[in-house]
Amino acid sequence: MINGEAFSSIDFVGQCLVDKERTQAFEQEISGIQNLSEKTVLDIGTGSGVLALIAARCGAKKVYAIEYDPFVAAIAQKNIDLNKFNSVIEILHGDARTLSLSGLHFDVVIAEMLTTGLVEEHQVEAMNNLQEQGVVDENTIFLPSKQSMSMELVSYNNKQHGVSFDFPVHLWKWHDWSDFQIQNMSENKEVSTVFLNKINSMETILETSLKIIGDGEVNGLIIRGKTHFPSGAIIEDTEALNAPILLPINPQNLKIGDSLKFKLSYSFGKGFDFFKIDI
Ligand SMILES: C[S@@+](CC[C@H](N)C(=O)[O-])C[C@H]1O[C@@H](n2cnc3c(N)ncnc32)[C@H](O)[C@@H]1O
């Protein structure tokens, strides 16, 4: 993967669109915003334009929609034309990590460039760009407002088709993972929360220890993501968002009651190349 850009394909944009649980959760939040007709909205990573279109349909005064993939941006424009929202929605073609937005101010920021642990995609850097430019303030509503992550240790079968594999896997719920024979080997513990309405360091270090609940070999770590909205609503593992990540770790033989201490460090949005686990 090249620098967290795995989710830029049109294929994934289509999968986001049909993920009802995810899209309806955003729609619920957008439709609940008071006086939207007086508000300027920014939709970051607009993809098909679905969230920008929902904001426009809910009556937003003006919607700016950022997309950096030229092919996807042209598709979003087509969809805006098709739905006759050209006078409300304006596509800004550029990279949300660096795009200059000077002269603008946003009352609502919608951003779905989320992945479990914010490991891939550019959500954190894009939010930092908004804060650094002063185009948002303490009254700006962020959808979502925070992203949290939890971890648990597992044992799993890393042999598939008769050969052994060692790489991180997104456990998308539409695939059958039964051949992996994943077994929980520890408690699941919440280890971090990233607030998306403030500047965050791009580097993160998570140190924790997990209590073992079964005797045997542990060879994997599962990271789970949760997306939080200002209303208190939460989305967990949906068809296109927050797939649990299974990370291989050096096998360890452990007993019930043991604790495994480890440190995980990575850079937000840089993907697995920059992931490091110390046990
Ligand atoms: C997960 S999709 C979400 C699409 C849409 N917002 C939705 O909710 O269905 C993320 C989108 O963000 C775009 N994107 C990713 N990184 C970006 C960046 N740095 N600047 C602008 N767009 C970006 C991708 O091309 C993709 O269209």
Ligand 1 neighbour 125 (Cβ under 6 A) = no
- Of 153, 149, 162, nearest to 182 by C-alpha is 153
Q: What is the pLDDT along the chain (279 residues), one digit of tens a residue?
A: 444 454 556 788 999 999 999 999 999 999 999 999 999 999 999 999 999 999 999 999 999 999 999 999 999 999 999 999 999 999 999 999 999 999 999 999 999 999 999 999 999 999 999 999 999 999 999 999 999 999 999 999 999 999 999 999 999 999 999 999 999 999 999 999 999 999 999 999 988 999 999 999 999 999 999 999 999 999 999 999 999 999 999 999 999 999 999 898 999 999 887 678 777
Ligand 1 neighbour 16 (Cβ under 6 A) = yes
Among all chains, which residue has been given the structure tokens 């700006």? 140
- Of 95, 62, 116, nearest to 224 by C-alpha is 116
Ligand 1 neighbour 124 (Cβ under 6 A) = no
Give the start-to-end residue ranges of the domains of the chain: 6-143, 147-278
Q: Burial of 258 by CB count in 10 Å (0-12 exposed, 13-18 middle, 19+ buried)? A: middle
Nearest CA owner, ligand 1 atom 4: 47
Nearest CA owner, ligand 1 atom 14: 45
- Of 44, 47, 46, 65, nearest to 10 by C-alpha is 47
Nearest CA owner, ligand 1 atom 9: 16
Ligand 1 neighbour 46 (Cβ under 6 A) = yes
Ligand 1 neighbour 65 (Cβ under 6 A) = no
Record the pTM.
Answer: 0.94
Ligand 1 neighbour 112 (Cβ under 6 A) = yes
Among all chains, which residue has been given the structure tokens 């033989």? 253
Give, rounded to a whole angstrom, the gap between the first and last alpha carbons of the chain: 25
6-143 matches 147-278 in fold: no
Fold of 6-143: Rossmann fold (3.40.50)
User: Which residues are CB-neighbours of 164 under 8 A, at least 6 positions away?
Assistant: 158
State the pairing for strand pair 146-155/216-228.
antiparallel
Residue 67 CA to ligand 1 center (angstroms) comes to 6
Residue 177 CA to ligand 1 center (angstroms) comes to 27
DSSP string, 192-226: EEEETTS---SEEEEEEEEEB-SSEEEEEEEEEEE
Separation of alpha carbons 48 and 17, rounded Å? 7
Nearest CA owner, ligand 1 atom 6: 46
Ligand 1 neighbour 8 (Cβ under 6 A) = yes
Question: What is the pLDDT, as a whole number, of residue 5?
Answer: 54
State the pairing for strand pair 62-67/40-44.
parallel
Nearest CA owner, ligand 1 atom 25: 8
Residue 184 CA to ligand 1 center (angstroms) comes to 33
State the pairing for strand pair 40-44/108-111.
parallel
Domain at 147-278, CATH from 2.40.10.220, 3.40.50.300, 2.70.160.11, 3.40.50.720: 2.70.160.11
Residue 60 CA to ligand 1 center (angstroms) comes to 21
Nearest CA owner, ligand 1 atom 24: 8
